Amino acid sequence: MGKPYKLLALDMDGTLLNEKSEISAENERWIRAAIDAGVTVCFATGRGYASALPYAEQLGLTSPMVLVNGGEVWTSPAELRTRRTMKASDVAALRELALRYDTWYWAYSVERVYNKTDWIEDVHSTEWLKFGYYSEDEAARAGVTEGIRAIGAFETTNSHPYNLELNPPGVSKASGLREVCALLGIGMDEIVACGDSLNDAAMIVEAGLGVAMGNAQEEVKRIADAVTLTNEEDGVAHVIRTYLL
């Protein structure tokens, strides 16, 4: 047995949260037990601050958070550490691509989330963190993927088989967790990371123990060190019982 794991990095949607976007009583109980045992619990999510914070408050977390797929790293829920932004001109070009292929789209600014039905007049008037597309039309997704390459270099992942998520190059949940490690004085090999989608892949590969949820995309299961139960079966609680306590 190697050195004990010191940090549990949790994706939220499809991992920590059930299909009703709730933390189950069982997951909460075991997360609190892990914290009591000295394990740091860190969200590593595609969500932004406003939608992640209530869950941190529910669990009483004061630990670091990796948000917007690594676009922001928070030292604690009260203190922003770093923010990696996208160029507004890129966001404008990515939106044009969404309009061309008639996909749903959204984008995270530092203040809020904009989307197809609620867009901002002047993209240069705010700072941008992430852009996303959703389409069940495979040809449209393929066209968008091709168009993205023509616009520039991005970290391209997904949080669902039908979507695409773009961050600046080099920005991922793994890059965010490397910052958290520096903050806490631990190594990536001391992390257990859990997730279900391609935006979790980098951290699952780099963590000491990368765990795919039972409901994870097949590609994520292939690269993981272990597969746990689904998000509906309290898979996070199972990971804590099995590997941390």
Give the CATH number of the domain where residue 228 resides: 3.40.50.1000
Q: Are residues 27 and 76 in the same domain?
A: yes
Q: Are residues 158 and 92 in the same domain?
A: yes
Write the pLDDT tens digit of every residue in 105-140. 999 999 999 999 999 999 999 999 999 999 999 999
Q: What pLDDT, on the 0 to 100 scale, is given for residue 31? A: 98
Interval 150-154 mean pLDDT: 93
Q: Point out the domain boundary residue: 167, 196, 225.
A: 167
Mean pLDDT for the chain overall: 96
Please enumerate in sequence order all residues whose Cβ is within 8 A of that of 206, keeping only pairs 6 or more positions apart, or say none. Answer: 174, 177, 178, 188, 191, 193
Kindly report the backbone phi and psi dihedral angles of residue 2, in degrees, each rounded to the nearest multiple of 5, phi listed first: -80, -165
Q: What pLDDT, on the 0 to 100 scale, is given for residue 3? A: 62
Q: What pLDDT, on the 0 to 100 scale, is given for residue 2? A: 54
Q: Point out the domain boundary residue: 116, 141, 167.
A: 167
Q: Are residues 50 and 118 in the same domain?
A: no
Show the domain range for 126. Answer: 88-167
Interval 46-65 mean pLDDT: 97
Interval 226-241 mean pLDDT: 98
Residue 136 CB neighbour total at 10 angstroms: 11
Percent of the chain, pLDDT > 70?
Answer: 99
Q: Point out the domain boundary residue: 167, 202, 220.
A: 167
Place of tokens 């941190």: 56
Write the pLDDT tens digit of every residue in 181-221. 999 999 999 999 999 999 999 999 999 999 999 999 999 99
Percent of the chain, pLDDT > 90?
Answer: 97
Indicate whether 46 belongs to any domain. Answer: yes
Q: Is there a catalytic annotation at residue 11?
A: yes
Catalytic: which of 11, 13, 90, 234?
Answer: 11
Indicate whether 21 belongs to any domain. Answer: yes
Give the CATH number of the domain where residue 110 resides: 3.30.1240.10
Q: Are residues 163 and 94 in the same domain?
A: yes
Total tally of structural domains belonging to the chain: 2
Indicate whether 1 belongs to any domain. Answer: no
Q: Are residues 22 and 139 in the same domain?
A: no
